């Protein structure tokens, strides 16, 4: 069990004191936070006063008295009522020193394992075969990967599901076009994109080709060996391209996580039968549809979820229903997260509601749409290339890596070319991911390649730089681990400086923040935390000399440096961002 944070311990004590002072009401969350006015501040007592219908300052005074009467041995050195009924809390120096020593001795840095025993299926990335990945796939990939890392770090079992689009009528025209114009040589993604464009153009203008394409779909569905072989080749080529992108982005998805839409095809007709038997699906104009209750369009009429199309084919919705059933029954998910753009909100709600109505979602299972907003250009409009398309993911990443290269080369004129390439990749990719993850995910954000590699401000580059600065100090001590130890912290005496206290309190809450990210599926909370941690470290470094301090103080400060470095590195890793030793 991880040692709880001081904020948690203090919150528990305040809750007990509230129970003591007002035994007849349910105590509200005391809302203990770090504060500019004291080490910690509790704002939740105002809620207690409201429940009691009494003046907040008076109630806060009674709770503080109850706390003072029971505080023996606790971490608090002082508490007083402030403002309209807040409580300002001061933590004892020794409690801070002990807490930091416990964190330093714990390789998990105070992060607990609340996810142990829980299985989370995460549906993310999900690009489409024979199409380039675009900026929407970038967001899904980056957010999904961060959530996967956080949940597994908290002890959970994570099953990644890359629900790639590898099935559908478009494969008829792609395969038919390839059949009529065989490719030679190796087919990269560029060639696939060109194939898509050419097949589409012919399909739109040549009726005979369109008809041959439709027959090709029938052949594919019937398992015609030649057709299936070409289809497999298309999927394999795309999968190789996806794998390259994931590797370049330090994303943990592998081909083993790929569960394409095609895999669910054998189950769809049974699924539609089951929906009929359950009285949920019915015929409508030759199609089979479900009207999950509560889904109405702008004109107030019910919106159908189409599970079988008029041409007899099964579409996106049927596949999603089959996938959900598989995730719950076979993968034994306790939680299923769909990291998919906001425009698919209605589709997913209808899928979830239909699955619930069909009895495929037991009560203990939660399903959630982890929606995200759009990426905007610096003109404030959704990103578009000059030709009007969503820009390819690789173009965006390449742009950031080029900017990062300039930053790194400027700081390290003598860096060998190979090292420069790798460091620029780590910085550029980290910048793209951080820019994405640091905005709360429902909101749109602006893709600004220059701003995102800035060494100052709330950027991934700034955090990597803060980490590298810490590492540089520790390198200069030679024997970093011996000196910067838990023992050094406990041996320290004399009062801690305000900047040391601030830093220690920030370090202390790492575990609470990681737990919060898992509970809310909001990685921006971890970004915000790491940014304030880096700022607290900078303030500490500017006011508290480390290497030139007298021995006892030097040990304490080095220990704080080491803990800061490890917390930054671990936090960045949970976001999928590298923490190079040097920038």
- Tokens at 384, concatenated: 């578009």
Residues 474, 479, 481, 484, Cα dihedral to 10°:
-60
Binding flags for ligand ARG, 127-166, as an x/- string (CB under 6 A): -x----------------------------------x-x-
Binding flags for ligand ARG, 489-528, as an x/- string (CB under 6 A): ----------------------------------------
What minimum distance in Å lies between the beta carbon of 185 and ligand ARG?
Answer: 28
SS3 315: coil
- Tokens at 74, concatenated: 């606790």
Opening angle at CA 487, ends 486 and 492, nearest 5: 100
Taking CB under 6 A as the binding criterion, the range among 120-128, 283-291, 362-370, 517-525 that sits at the site for ligand ARG is 120-128
Of the two residues 139 and 506, which places its CB atom closer to ligand ARG in the complex? 139
Binding flags for ligand ARG, 71-110, as an x/- string (CB under 6 A): ----------------------------------------
Q: Strand 86-91 to strand 119-123: parallel, antiparallel, or no bridges (unpaired)?
A: unpaired
User: 32 forms bridges with which residues in the sheet?
Assistant: 42
Q: Give the Å distances, CA to CA, from 253 to 132, 159, 243, 340.
A: 17, 10, 8, 16
What minimum distance in Å lies between the beta carbon of 128 and ligand ARG?
Answer: 5
Residue of 123, 145, 483, 522 that binds ligand ARG (CB under 6 A): 123
Of the two residues 372 and 445, which places its CB atom closer to ligand ARG in the complex? 372
Q: Where are the beta strands (DSSP E) in 416-534?
A: 445-446
- Tokens at 90, concatenated: 């001061």
- Tokens at 106, concatenated: 């714990």
Tokens 């979830």 appear where? Answer: 352
Taking CB under 6 A as the binding criterion, the range among 32-40, 50-58, 122-130, 210-218 that sits at the site for ligand ARG is 122-130
What minimum distance in Å lies between the beta carbon of 251 and ligand ARG?
Answer: 16
Opening angle at CA 554, ends 550 and 555, nearest 5: 125
What minimum distance in Å lies between the beta carbon of 319 and ligand ARG?
Answer: 8
Taking CB under 6 A as the binding criterion, the range among 78-86, 121-129, 218-226, 514-522 that sits at the site for ligand ARG is 121-129
**How many secondary structure helices (H) and strands (E) does the chain include?**
22, 13
Of the candidates 366, 314, 301, 360, the residue with the CA atom closest to the CA atom of residue 337: 366
Of the two residues 340 and 505, which places its CB atom closer to ligand ARG in the complex? 340
Phi-psi sector, 145: left (phi>0), alpha (psi -120 to 50), beta: alpha
What minimum distance in Å lies between the beta carbon of 541 and ligand ARG?
Answer: 44
Taking CB under 6 A as the binding criterion, the range among 113-121, 123-131, 305-313, 451-459 that sits at the site for ligand ARG is 123-131
What minimum distance in Å lies between the beta carbon of 393 and ligand ARG?
Answer: 12
Of the two residues 361 and 572, which places its CB atom closer to ligand ARG in the complex? 361
Of the two residues 111 and 323, which places its CB atom closer to ligand ARG in the complex? 323
Size of the site for ligand ARG (CB under 6 A): 9
Of the two residues 238 and 570, which places its CB atom closer to ligand ARG in the complex? 238
- Tokens at 492, concatenated: 């320290």
What minimum distance in Å lies between the beta carbon of 440 and ligand ARG?
Answer: 21
Binding flags for ligand ARG, 163-202, as an x/- string (CB under 6 A): x-x-------------------------------------
What minimum distance in Å lies between the beta carbon of 431 and ligand ARG?
Answer: 24
Q: Distance between CA 293 and CA 436 in Å, rounded?
A: 35
Binding flags for ligand ARG, 306-335, as an x/- string (CB under 6 A): --------------x--x------------
Instruction: Say if residues 444 and 376 touch (Cβ distance below 8 Å).
Output: yes
Q: Give the Å distances, CA to CA, from 510 to 360, 526, 559.
A: 37, 9, 16
Residue of 14, 126, 143, 536 that binds ligand ARG (CB under 6 A): 126
SS3 390: coil
What minimum distance in Å lies between the beta carbon of 392 and ligand ARG?
Answer: 13
Does 340 bind ligand ARG (CB under 6 A)? Our answer is: yes
Of the two residues 338 and 529, which places its CB atom closer to ligand ARG in the complex? 338
Opening angle at CA 151, ends 362 and 481, nearest 5: 160
Of the two residues 29 and 395, which places its CB atom closer to ligand ARG in the complex? 395
Q: Distance between CA 320 and CA 161 in Å, rounded?
A: 12
The CB-side HSE value for 475 (13 A sphere, CA atoms) comes to: 8
What does residue 407 show for φ and ψ, rounded to 5 degrees? -65, -45
Q: Distance between CA 533 and CA 528 in Å, rounded?
A: 9
For the segment 360-419, give every residue that binds ligand ARG (CB under 6 A).
none
What minimum distance in Å lies between the beta carbon of 343 and ligand ARG?
Answer: 9
- Tokens at 55, concatenated: 């003046």
Instruction: Say if residues 102 and 338 touch (Cβ distance below 8 Å).
Output: no
Q: List residues binding ligand ARG (CB under 6 A).
A: 123, 126, 128, 163, 165, 320, 323, 338, 340
């Amino acid at each position: 069990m991880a040692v709880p944070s001081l904020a948690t311990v203090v919150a528990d004590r305040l809750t007990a004191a509230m129970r003591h002072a007002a035994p007849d009401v349910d105590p509200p969350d005391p809302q203990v936070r770090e504060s500019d006015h004291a080490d910690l501040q509790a704002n939740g007592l105002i809620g207690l006063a409201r429940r009691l219908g009494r003046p907040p300052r008076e109630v806060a005074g009674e709770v503080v008295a109850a706390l003072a009467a029971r505080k023996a041995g606790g971490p608090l050195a002082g508490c007083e009522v402030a403002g309209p009924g807040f409580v300002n809390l001061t933590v004892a120096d020794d409690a801070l020193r002990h807490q930091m020593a416990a964190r330093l001795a714990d390789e998990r840095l105070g992060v607990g394992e609340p996810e142990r025993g829980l299985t989370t299926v995460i549906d993310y990335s999900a690009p489409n075969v024979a199409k380039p990945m675009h900026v929407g796939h970038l967001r899904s990939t980056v957010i999904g990967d961060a959530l996967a890392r956080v949940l597994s770090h908290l002890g959970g079992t994570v099953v990644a599901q890359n629900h790639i689009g590898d099935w559908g009528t478009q494969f008829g025209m792609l395969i038919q076009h390839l059949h009529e114009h065989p490719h030679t040589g190796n087919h990269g993604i560029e060639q696939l994109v060109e194939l898509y464009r050419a097949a589409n153009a012919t399909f739109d203008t040549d009726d005979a080709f369109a008809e041959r394409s439709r027959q090709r779909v029938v052949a594919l569905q019937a398992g015609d060996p030649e057709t299936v072989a070409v289809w497999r080749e298309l999927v394999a080529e795309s999968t190789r391209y996806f794998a390259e992108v994931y590797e370049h982005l330090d994303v943990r998805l592998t081909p083993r996580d790929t569960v394409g839409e095609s895999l669910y095809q054998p189950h769809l007709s049974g699924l539609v039968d089951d929906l009929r038997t359950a009285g949920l699906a019915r015929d409508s104009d030759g199609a089979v549809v479900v009207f999950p209750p509560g889904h109405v369009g702008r004109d107030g009429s019910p919106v159908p979820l189409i599970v079988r199309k008029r041409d007899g084919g099964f579409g996106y919705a049927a596949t999603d229903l089959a996938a959900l059933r598989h995730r719950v029954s076979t993968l034994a998910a306790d939680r299923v997260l769909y990291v998919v753009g906001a425009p698919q909100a209605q589709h997913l709600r209808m899928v979830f509601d239909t699955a619930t109505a069909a009895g495929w979602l037991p009560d203990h299972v939660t399903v959630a749409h982890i929606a995200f907003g759009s990426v905007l250009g610096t003109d404030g409009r959704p990103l578009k290339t000059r030709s009007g398309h969503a820009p390819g993911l690789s173009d965006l990443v390449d742009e950031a890596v080029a900017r990062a290269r300039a930053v790194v080369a400027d700081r390290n004129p003598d860096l060998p070319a190979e090292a420069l390439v790798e460091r620029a990749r780590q910085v550029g990719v980290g910048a793209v991911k951080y820019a994405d993850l640091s905005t709360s995910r429902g909101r749109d954000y602006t893709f600004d390649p220059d701003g995102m590699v800035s060494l100052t401000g709330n950027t991934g580059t700034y955090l990597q730089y803060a980490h590298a600065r810490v590492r540089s100090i520790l390198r200069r001590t030679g024997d970093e681990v011996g000196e910067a130890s838990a023992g050094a912290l406990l041996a320290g005496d004399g009062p801690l400086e305000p900047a040391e206290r601030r830093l220690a309190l920030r370090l202390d809450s790492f575990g609470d923040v990681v737990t919060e990210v898992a509970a809310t599926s909001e990685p921006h909370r971890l970004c915000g935390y790491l940014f304030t941690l880096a700022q607290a470290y900078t303030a500490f470094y500017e006011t508290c000399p480390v290497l030139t301090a007298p021995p006892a103080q030097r040990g304490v400060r080095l220990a704080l440096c080491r803990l800061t470095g490890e917390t930054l590195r671990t936090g960045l890793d949970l976001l999928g961002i590298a923490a190079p030793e040097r920038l």
